[in-house]
Structure 1
Amino acid sequence: MLLVSSDVPDKCWGGVCLLGITCQDCSSHRFLASYSSWFQKLHVHVQAPGVSNFVRVASIASLSDLFTRLGQFPNVKKDGVSFSGKLIQPFLKLLNGDGSEALWDGGVNMLCSILCYFPSAIHRHHYDSVETTIALKIMSGKCSTCLLKKLAHCLAILPQSKGDEETWSLLMQKILLLINSHLNDAFQFLEEETKSTKVVNLLVPPGKDPPTPLGCCNSSDKAAAEATKRPNRLLTSSVSAFMLCGCEMLINPYPVQVNIPVKAVLALIERVLMVDGSVSQSLLPFVTAMQQESLCSELPMFHSDALDLLIALTKVMRSQMLPHAAYIVRLIVRYFKNCSLPELRVKVYSIIKTLLMSMGIGIAKFLTQEVVNNVFIDLNPDHQDGLAFPIPPSKANEVLYPNKKKRKHASAAKSLEDNHETGFGEAPKNHLVVPANVKIAALEALEVLLTVGGALRSDSWRKNVDTLLISVATNSIHDGWNIEENSICMPKEQIHMVEKLQLAALRALLASLLSQSHVRPSNIARSLELFQSGRQETGTKKMCTLVASLQLLFHKGLSLLCLIRMMMSCIASGFKIRKNLRLH
Structure 2
Amino acid sequence: MAAYGNFGNMYDVALKPRLLSTLLREHVPDDSRPFSDPSELASVIATLRVHKLLSESFEESADKKLVESWKKAVDAWVERLMLLVSSDVPDKCWAGVCFLGITCQDCSSQRFLESYSSWFQKLHAHIQAPGVSNFVRVAAIASLSDLFTRLGQFPNVKKDGISFSGKLIQPFLKLLNGDGSEALWDGGANMLCSIICYFPSAIHHHYDSVETTIALKIMSGKCSTCLLKKLAHCLAILPLSKGDEETWSLLMQKILLLINSHLNDAFQCLEEETNSTKVVNLLVPPGKDPPKPLGCCNCSDKVAVEATKRPDRLLTSSVSALMLCSCEMLINPYPVQVNVPIKAVLVLIERVLMVDGSVSQSLLPFVTATQQESLCSELPMFHSNALDMLIALTKGMRSQMLPHAAYIVRLIMRYFKNCSLPELRVKVYSIIRTLLMSMGIGIAKFLTQEVINNVFIDFNPDHQNDLAFPITLSKANEVSYPNKKKRKHASASRSLEDKHETGLGEAHKNHLVVPASVKITALETLEVLLTVGGALRSDSWRKNVDTLLISVATNSVHDGWNIEEKSICMPNEQIYEMEKLQLAALRALLASLLSQSHEGKKQGQR
Question: Are the aligned partners of 1:84 and 1:114 in contact in 2 as well (CA < 8 Å)?
Answer: yes
Match of 2:100 in 1: 19
Residues 1:89 and 2:170 are matched in the alignment: yes
Q: Which amino acid counterpart does residue 446 of structure 1 have in structure 2? A: L
Q: Which amino acid counterpart does residue 84 of structure 1 have in structure 2? A: S
Q: Of 528, 534, 542, which aligns to 1:462?
A: 542
Question: Are the aligned partners of 2:330 and 2:393 in contact in 1 as well (CA < 8 Å)?
Answer: yes
RMSD of Structure 2 on Structure 1 (CA) = 2.2
* 1:382 to partner: Cα distance: 7.4
Partners of 1:235 and 1:512 lie apart in 2 by: 44
Match of 2:349 in 1: 269
Q: Which amino acid counterpart does residue 339 of structure 1 have in structure 2? A: C
Residues 1:129 and 2:176 are matched in the alignment: no
Match of 1:443 in 2: 523
Q: Which amino acid counterpart does residue 558 of structure 2 have in structure 1? A: H
Match of 2:68 in 1: none
Partners of 1:437 and 1:297 lie apart in 2 by: 23
Query: Helix, strand or coil: the match of 2:568?
Result: helix
Instruction: Kindly report which structure 2 residues correspond to 1:88-487, keeping only aligned pairs within 5 A, or say none.
Output: 88-123=169-204, 125-380=205-460, 421-424=468-471, 432-487=512-567
Q: Deviations over 1:163-218 (max 9, x none)?
A: 00010000000000000000001100000111110100000000000001101002
Partners of 1:98 and 1:445 lie apart in 2 by: 49
Match of 2:498 in 1: none
* 1:106 to partner: Cα distance: 0.7
Q: Deviations over 1:252-304 (max 9, x none)?
A: 11000111100000000000000011111111001111111111111100000
Match of 1:70 in 2: 151
Match of 2:114 in 1: 33
* 1:220 to partner: Cα distance: 4.2
Q: Deviations over 1:506-553 (max 9, x none)?
A: 0100111111227988xxxxxxxxxxxxxxxxxxxxxxxxxxxxxxxx
Q: Of 488, 508, 524, which aligns to 2:588?
A: 508
Query: Helix, strand or coil: the match of 2:596?
Result: coil
* 1:360 to partner: Cα distance: 1.3
Question: Are the aligned partners of 1:381 and 1:472 in contact in 2 as well (CA < 8 Å)?
Answer: no
* 1:490 to partner: Cα distance: 2.2
* 1:224 to partner: Cα distance: 2.5
Partners of 2:416 and 2:178 lie apart in 1 by: 45
- How many residues align structurally? 491
Inter-CA distance 51–248: structure 2 relative to 1 (3 Å threshold)? same
Query: Helix, strand or coil: the match of 2:426?
Result: helix
Tell me which structure has the larger Cα radius of gyration.
2
Q: Of 30, 41, 47, which aligns to 2:128?
A: 47
Question: Are the aligned partners of 1:380 and 1:468 in contact in 2 as well (CA < 8 Å)?
Answer: no
Question: Are the aligned partners of 2:315 and 2:378 in contact in 1 as well (CA < 8 Å)?
Answer: no
Residues 1:5 and 2:79 are matched in the alignment: no
* 1:484 to partner: Cα distance: 2.2
Question: Are the aligned partners of 2:457 and 2:468 in contact in 1 as well (CA < 8 Å)?
Answer: no
Match of 1:580 in 2: none
Structure 1: 5+ residue stretches without partners: 384-400, 404-418, 522-555, 558-584
Question: Are the aligned partners of 2:457 and 2:467 in contact in 1 as well (CA < 8 Å)?
Answer: no
* 1:420 to partner: Cα distance: 8.9
Question: Are the aligned partners of 2:456 and 2:467 in contact in 1 as well (CA < 8 Å)?
Answer: no
Q: Which amino acid counterpart does residue 11 of structure 1 have in structure 2? A: K
Q: Which range is displaced more, 251-260 or 48-57?
A: 48-57
Inter-CA distance 365–431: structure 2 relative to 1 (3 Å threshold)? farther
Question: Are the aligned partners of 2:462 and 2:511 in contact in 1 as well (CA < 8 Å)?
Answer: no
Q: Which amino acid counterpart does residue 162 of structure 1 have in structure 2? A: K
Question: Are the aligned partners of 1:94 and 1:103 in contact in 2 as well (CA < 8 Å)?
Answer: no
Q: Which amino acid counterpart does residue 237 of structure 2 have in structure 1? A: I
Question: Are the aligned partners of 2:422 and 2:515 in contact in 1 as well (CA < 8 Å)?
Answer: yes
* 1:14 to partner: Cα distance: 1.4
Partners of 1:431 and 1:228 lie apart in 2 by: 45
Question: Are the aligned partners of 2:462 and 2:512 in contact in 1 as well (CA < 8 Å)?
Answer: no
Match of 1:572 in 2: none
* 1:489 to partner: Cα distance: 2.8
Question: Are the aligned partners of 2:441 and 2:533 in contact in 1 as well (CA < 8 Å)?
Answer: yes
Question: Are the aligned partners of 1:314 and 1:355 in contact in 2 as well (CA < 8 Å)?
Answer: yes
Name the % identity: 89
Q: Which runs of 4+ in 1 moved over 6 A?
A: 425-429, 518-521
Q: Which amino acid counterpart does residue 409 of structure 2 have in structure 1? A: V
Ranked by relative contact order (alpha carbons within 8 Å, sequence separation 6 or more), the top structure is 1
Q: Which range is displaced more, 152-161 or 315-324?
A: 315-324
Question: Are the aligned partners of 1:212 and 1:219 in contact in 2 as well (CA < 8 Å)?
Answer: no
Query: Helix, strand or coil: the match of 1:517?
Result: helix
Structure 2: 5+ residue stretches without partners: 1-81, 472-480, 483-491, 496-500, 502-509
Question: Are the aligned partners of 2:262 and 2:314 in contact in 1 as well (CA < 8 Å)?
Answer: no
Query: Helix, strand or coil: the match of 2:264?
Result: helix
Inter-CA distance 381–187: structure 2 relative to 1 (3 Å threshold)? closer
Q: Which amino acid counterpart does residue 224 of structure 1 have in structure 2? A: A
Inter-CA distance 381–152: structure 2 relative to 1 (3 Å threshold)? closer
Partners of 2:569 and 2:358 lie apart in 1 by: 45
Question: Are the aligned partners of 1:272 and 1:306 in contact in 2 as well (CA < 8 Å)?
Answer: yes
Inter-CA distance 173–420: structure 2 relative to 1 (3 Å threshold)? farther
Match of 1:540 in 2: none
Question: Are the aligned partners of 1:381 and 1:471 in contact in 2 as well (CA < 8 Å)?
Answer: no
* 1:235 to partner: Cα distance: 3.1
Partners of 1:442 and 1:336 lie apart in 2 by: 13
Partners of 1:243 and 1:381 lie apart in 2 by: 32
Inter-CA distance 86–303: structure 2 relative to 1 (3 Å threshold)? same
Inter-CA distance 201–354: structure 2 relative to 1 (3 Å threshold)? same
Partners of 2:599 and 2:188 lie apart in 1 by: 64
Inter-CA distance 9–449: structure 2 relative to 1 (3 Å threshold)? same
Q: Deviations over 1:425-446 (max 9, x none)?
A: 7889965211111001100111
Partners of 2:378 and 2:338 lie apart in 1 by: 33
Q: Which amino acid counterpart does residue 469 of structure 1 have in structure 2? A: L
